[in-house]
Structure 1
Amino acid sequence: MQNYKTPFLWIDGERLGPDHRATMPVVNPSTGEALAKLPLADAEDLDRAVAAAQRGFHIWRATSAYDRAKILRRAAELLRERSDEIAVQMTLEQGKPLHEAKGEIAGTPDFLDWDADEGRRIYGRLIPSRVPHQRQMVMKTPIGPVATFTPWNYPFMIPVRKISSVLAAGCSCIIKPAEETPNSTLAIAEAFEDAGLPKGVLQVVFGVPAQVSQHLLTHAGIKGFAFTGSTAIGAELASLAARQVKRSVMELGGHAPILIFDDADIEDVAQLTYARKFRNGGQGCISPSRFYVQARSYDRFCDRVAELVGSIKVGDGFAPDTQMGPLAHERRVPWIEALIADAVSKGARLLCGGKRVGEIGHFITPAVLADVPDDARVMHEEPFGPLIALNSFTDTDDAIAKANATEFGLSAYCFTRDNATAIRVADEIEAGMIGINSFAVGAPTSIASPETPFGGMKASGYGSEGGIEGLEPYLDTKFVSQF
């Protein structure tokens, strides 16, 4: 029996429980049973969090970049040491197989190490003057307290990535993680506390999402925000922040196209699809979704992918033979079923999967659709689950046009041995991140790595996290002219 820790609010270095606060259950998606009661912040708690973040900001910005880096590195070490216990908490509250939870945690502290160094390299510059005896200087200064909002699909990696960039830039942070997965983020706060982070520099709050975002984004004490989530919610938050003239980074939905040309190794691509698409139950914004396969290879690819996907073992995340766990929410199962039913009603073929598993938990078998018409919902609405849509193409122009025919522009992928084709696809596909001959960009198994920018275009958002771009949203540029 795995033990689930009691979650809490973390404000100004103090753990706040459910007494005199509204609560909501944290549910195990494998069993449907409540794991714990999560305390929800009220307006007073949020005001206290902002006040603490303002005090923490003045302490943190006055701390040298060298000393800030030491704390980030120490937090990274502690998270690595605690990875096994954090993974158990993640599997309990999010459902993903234990080996996937451990995999998510394994490389994530690298973000802290990277940003620790980037924070030491926040350089200004001198600009030669047109007149004698004038010094023209450009300085980079932290913007102030930043509010961040993170989802439940990668409940450790995404919070670490946001907190890391904000703190490395010299800002304080209030993070509202997903209420479904509180302990994955609280483990990060505890590591920072033990690493010596001053009180008030980091707060963790939970609550009714609309109320928390409204309160924080309209508060004069918050100077910027970062959000990862759906395009619809992101657009509302961006509008709210714009009215307050707050800096923002938006990482929104995706519906990644994959172009597979006849000269690609079809068996290799099928194996990569099997290994990558259904990780985390397909619940990822950069997960490959819309496959366009050149006509000569189409049938072979469809048959092989269906064979591989049909063999995936679905079950509880703690079972040693589980390859895909439950979906994180009960509502995700009928969503996938509805997308499949709509596509089939319009002429698509269901090659495998799409069936509920058992009567307890949020389980569904991974599904493969073929010959999906352009007007099917799944071709335009992000599935965010274990479902892929396959279609053939003959003309490259048509394939690229269809790849670009959604509002999304987060990630895209292409498989070809022809360098000219690869260059053309990279130039013409409308996406912030493009993988050529791999579903990984910048890291062996993931498109997200500390040294590379992660972000999209179009309705998939703006701004980047990671790489040298990651700290920029949290810095003001100040020009000083001195005689």
Structure 2
Amino acid sequence: MELQEHYRKHGLLIGGRWQPATADDGQLSINPATEAPLGHTPLAAKEQVTQAIDAAVIGSRAMREITPWERSTLLRRAAALIRERAPQLARIVALETGKPIAQATGEANASAESIDWFADEARRVFGMSYESRVKGGRYLVHYEPLGVVAAFTPWNFPLLLLARKMGPALAAGNAIVIRPSNEAAGATMALVRCFTDAGFPEGAVNLVIGKPDAITPTIMADARVAKISFTGSVPIGRQIVEMSAQTLKKVTMELGGHAPVIVHRDADIAAFAHLASLGKFRNAGQVCASPTRFYVHESIFDKTVKALVERSKALKLGDPLEQNTDLGPLTTSRRREAIESLVDEAASDGAQILCGGRRPSRFGRGWFYEPTLIANPAPHLGLMNDEPFGPVGTLTPFATTGEVIEEANRLPFALAAYVFTRSMRNTMETTERLQAGVIGVNTFVASTAETPFGGAKDSGFGREGGPHAIRDYLDTKFINLELAEDESPDAGYATA
């Protein structure tokens, strides 16, 4: 009943007013660990989406009147509230998505860090002034907010992915309209509440929840929305880009990945196995930067496989509300069915299932799936070409660096990649030739608040986080300032 009450108190946020859903006009939210109902989340009508944009237009004017230092203070308050409410935020994430509570708490704290980072960036949007080609003239460059920004976020990191969009949008002085995934609507409501409680102007933050066909076309067709920031799948990303062309919106795309991991012959096998088991199965593998294709040098392949399988089998699959749970359920039944299809195809083709590959028998309900590792899958299999987005990884031996880099770069995805080696020569050669927006060397940490995150090729464009992200939420204005011919430098001032 706890989330039912949370949904009743919140719902849509339009112009500073919450509009909760009822059983008659809402969508049922399901706990993926128990398959029990959590409550009803809203289904926004097209009229309500337009009202949210109307409110954001007004909110953007209010945000323009707030100084950068005042925006920084508001963001800092929001970050403090996120930290203060981290236990409640994490519990909602765990209930709605099945993410283990310890990982959900880490996500809440990382979201606060991201907002804190952009609180600082709000005060560091520096323009330029320099001499022009005309005597006494000046070239001035300064940055202005775009106005209204729309953010589309998925369910796998409902707090952090939204924080990465809200932080720079609000720091730059814009208003925002948020469309989250229905599966994590309550978590989004709770995060947004931190911003309204922090004192942002009415209309600065708006939240619309519901079916994509009621929300997305309305936002995309409205010329008042100046920018779209989207995190999601490649096919939907393509549709968003196509729709954005009609009104020439600015677009940031953070799309899918299929991250290769290259383990050189000199890698620390024990350290790799420990980190890989945690990195691969974090959030049940439902991470766009998740390591998925492991390429291990043939000289250490057997030892590495054995170590990783042992570590993976030791992970605890269970109740996401328990602190010692490593893997919870998949967030949707559709996701589990997709994983099963990929694994079944690989097994039928002769690939070796080293561990997992099935639903755990001890759970009567919930969308659980065992951590799965598969050796020697053929390159043509779906598992080697389509982002699995679940608790499954593949292991393939390689002989030469050139061979493995060619295979790693074969796919159109280029979000993240990872390298394990103790050699600086291997590090430099491999990272320079890998096609990826983010590369981890001896680590699976792909992003922090202060670093840029994003991909290339079909994995999108633009960056979130880091010192340059705020520029994507600003327009650049150039002013060529020359004195009038009859104006002296002292014109308009009284002389002593």
**Which residue of 21, 32, 36 corresponds with 2:35?**
32
Q: How does 1:321-400 map to 2 (within 5 A)?
A: 321-357=324-360, 358-400=363-405
| Alignment match, 2:485 | none
| Alignment match, 1:455 | 454
Residues 421-430 or 4-13, more deviating: 4-13
Q: How far, CA to CA, are the matches of 1:103 and 1:113 in structure 2? A: 15
In the alignment, structure 1 residue 411 sits paired with structure 2 residue 416? yes
C-alpha displacement of 1:376: 1.1
In the alignment, structure 1 residue 480 sits paired with structure 2 residue 483? no
In the alignment, structure 1 residue 238 sits paired with structure 2 residue 241? yes
Q: How far, CA to CA, are the matches of 2:246 and 2:269 in structure 1? A: 50
Q: How far, CA to CA, are the matches of 1:328 and 1:216 in structure 2? A: 27
| Alignment match, 2:92 | 89
Q: How far, CA to CA, are the matches of 2:324 and 2:162 in structure 1? A: 29
**Which residue of 185, 197, 204 corresponds with 1:182?**
185
Q: How far, CA to CA, are the matches of 2:350 and 2:188 in structure 1? A: 43
C-alpha displacement of 1:476: 0.7
Q: Give the number of aligned pairs.
A: 477
Change (3 A) 1:219 1:3: closer
C-alpha displacement of 1:211: 2.8
In the alignment, structure 1 residue 274 sits paired with structure 2 residue 273? no
C-alpha displacement of 1:223: 0.6
Any conservation in 1 of the 2:254–2:461 contact (CA below 8 Å)? Answer: yes
SS in 1 for 2:225: coil
SS in 1 for 2:299: helix
Q: How far, CA to CA, are the matches of 2:220 and 2:179 in structure 1? A: 12
Q: How far, CA to CA, are the matches of 1:319 and 1:54 in structure 2? A: 43
Query: Deviations for 1:417-455, whole angstroms, at most 9, x for unmatched residues?
Result: 111111111111000000111112xxxxxx221110011
Query: Deviations for 1:217-265, whole angstroms, at most 9, x for unmatched residues?
Result: 1102101110000001001001110221000100000000000001010
Identity percentage over the alignment? Answer: 39
Any conservation in 1 of the 2:44–2:214 contact (CA below 8 Å)? Answer: no
Q: How far, CA to CA, are the matches of 1:80 and 1:435 in structure 2? A: 27
Any conservation in 2 of the 1:21–1:39 contact (CA below 8 Å)? Answer: no
SS in 2 for 1:108: helix
Q: How far, CA to CA, are the matches of 2:330 and 2:172 in structure 1? A: 35
Any conservation in 2 of the 1:336–1:354 contact (CA below 8 Å)? Answer: no
| Alignment match, 1:148 | 151
Change (3 A) 1:147 1:3: closer
Where does structure 1 differ by over 2 angstroms across 4 or more consecutive aligned residues?
Answer: 1-4, 18-22, 319-322
Residues 227-236 or 184-193, more deviating: 184-193
In the alignment, structure 1 residue 402 sits paired with structure 2 residue 434? no
C-alpha displacement of 1:19: 5.5
| Alignment match, 1:466 | 465
Report the residue type matching 1:480 in the other structure: I
Q: How far, CA to CA, are the matches of 1:403 and 1:210 in structure 2? A: 36
**Which residue of 94, 101, 110 corresponds with 1:98?**
101
Report the residue type matching 2:59 in the other structure: G
SS in 2 for 1:277: helix
Any conservation in 1 of the 2:16–2:196 contact (CA below 8 Å)? Answer: yes
Any conservation in 2 of the 1:21–1:42 contact (CA below 8 Å)? Answer: no
**Which residue of 293, 311, 326 corresponds with 1:308?**
311
Q: How far, CA to CA, are the matches of 2:272 and 2:133 in structure 1? A: 58
| Alignment match, 1:256 | 259
Q: How does 1:64-79 map to 2 (within 5 A)?
A: 64-79=67-82
Report the residue type matching 1:231 in the other structure: V
**Which residue of 204, 207, 210 corresponds with 2:210?**
207
Residues 17-26 or 41-50, more deviating: 17-26
C-alpha displacement of 1:321: 4.0
Residues 258-267 or 337-346, more deviating: 337-346
Any conservation in 2 of the 1:21–1:40 contact (CA below 8 Å)? Answer: no
SS in 1 for 2:173: coil
Any conservation in 1 of the 2:155–2:183 contact (CA below 8 Å)? Answer: yes
Unaligned runs of 5+ in 1: 441-446
Q: How far, CA to CA, are the matches of 1:97 and 1:452 in structure 2? A: 25
C-alpha displacement of 1:343: 1.3
| Alignment match, 1:61 | 64
Q: How does 1:128-143 map to 2 (within 5 A)?
A: 128-143=131-146
C-alpha displacement of 1:107: 2.4
Report the residue type matching 2:454 in the other structure: G
Any conservation in 1 of the 2:175–2:203 contact (CA below 8 Å)? Answer: yes
The RMSD of aligned alpha carbons is 1.3
Q: How far, CA to CA, are the matches of 1:366 and 1:163 in structure 2? A: 34
